[in-house]
Structure 1
Amino acid sequence: MEANKPAVKLADDEVTYKQIKGVDNYNKTIRCTYFLVVLFTEGSGIHYIDDTAFPIGRNQLHFLFPGQHHHWETGPETLAQKIVVGKKVFENFSSTDEFHFIRHNLNPVFKLSDTVFDAVNNEMESIERDLQTLAADQAWKNILLLRMDILASMMKREAEGYIKNTLLTRSNPAVRDFWNLINQHYTVQKTPKWYAEQLCVTPNYLNILCRKHMNTTATDMIHQRIMQESKNLLRFSDRTIKEIAFDIGFETMSGFSAFFKKKSGFSPTEYRG
């Protein structure tokens, strides 16, 4: 891991930091394999994410997820901090509903209050110092990863407000009921058909509602909840992978491993390691 050097191809377990000052015409649209978070202290210009234009401004936090395309054109007064996070590090802290819904609902920019901005800014500056220390002492890596967890918690808090006050309030009541049912039954019921029956709608209509209001499929919402719990158990419990597979409701460890690999890009053993 290196501080102040942008990575062209970032390793899965790598984090980099860079300051952005003034005009930065990063105009090559690319499909990212990493997670990007940018905190703008001051700024102007446009950040294009998946062909949507987001004006850059003061006290803004911008997200970019693996698989998205982006480029930006910043104005001369721009001052920002950019942290680029490798895919495995991102998978470690992104196992929450908040990150999932931000990604699928095209809400990658948050205007922060002065208090929240100061807190996020301090953490990002600390990550820069951690990276400099890490260059001389690899044992510092665990501290850096803990710092990333803190930053992720702050981002999660901002996302919670968006989900509660905007996303769910404007969605169909059936979608909210569907999500509540998933949280209760995801270890046993893993297909939309059962949930649609409980809601007295067809699976096709349930899927239409999810696409319209959440910009994702009914199946993906179920899988997201399964992955969230799987990641939490792999990270924070000492249970074996076989035990976790059965806890989550898989009949075999191989079935669980194949599901986890397909969704995250890593086997459960690789993720835990």
Structure 2
Amino acid sequence: MTIEKYLQHRAPVQANDQIIWSFINLVEQYYIQHKSIKFYTDQLNISPRKLNDIIENYFGLSPSKIIHKFLEIEIKKELTTTDKPLKELCYSFGFNKPSTFTKYVKNITGVTPSRYRALNAVLPTTKHKTKILF
């Protein structure tokens, strides 16, 4: 099941669903501040191996990949729907240096953040206003 599909249902039904539900809720709240699995296993009072088994069995992705998927989705959304400076986005997503943010974005998109924004922007940026000549 995909993350998106799971998020649509949102109702725990089976024994492991409570763990899955709680994990996804924690990830939604803390994926920027806590990218390490340890935080989530501590919060859920579960071993890393058990969490990995449950999450990977359900989604086909490791808990770490789920966390990074949330981060990826949000970064792409911010790059395409806002004109916030890249440096501001870098720090707002918990990266210590713009170069690390750039490497991360390039790894998930194949292009730099500025190039991704230019290719996929939904809203025009305010920096390049078009002059109308009469």
Q: Same fold (TM over 0.5)?
A: yes
Residue 175 (structure 1) aligned with residue 20 (structure 2) = yes
Residue 190 (structure 1) aligns with: 35
CA distance in 2, matches of 1:245, 1:205: 32
**Aligned with 1:216: secondary structure?**
coil
Residue 224 (structure 1) aligned with residue 125 (structure 2) = no
Alignment equivalent of 2:59, drawn from 211, 214, 228: 214
Change beyond 3 A, Cα 1:269–1:169: farther
**Aligned with 2:61: secondary structure?**
coil
Higher relative contact order (CA 8 A, sep 6+): 2
Change beyond 3 A, Cα 1:209–1:257: same
Q: Which amino acid aligns with 1:231?
A: K
Residue 2 (structure 2) aligns with: 101
For 1:134-213, what aligned pairs fall within 5 Å after superposition? 160=5, 163-164=8-9, 169=13, 172-213=17-58
Show structure 2 runs of 5+ residues with no match.
119-134
Q: CA RMSD in A?
A: 2.4
Residue 249 (structure 1) aligns with: 94
- TM-score relative to the length of structure 2: 0.77
Following superposition, the deviation at residue 264 of structure 1 comes to 2.2
Identity of aligned residues (%): 26
In proportion to residue count, which structure has more strand? 1
Extract structure 1 runs of 4+ deviating beyond 6 A: none
In proportion to residue count, which structure has more helix? 2
- TM-score relative to the length of structure 1: 0.39
**8 Å contact kept, 2:10–2:21:** no
Residue 268 (structure 1) aligns with: 113
**Aligned with 1:179: secondary structure?**
helix
| Number of residue equivalences | 117
Change beyond 3 A, Cα 1:247–1:175: same
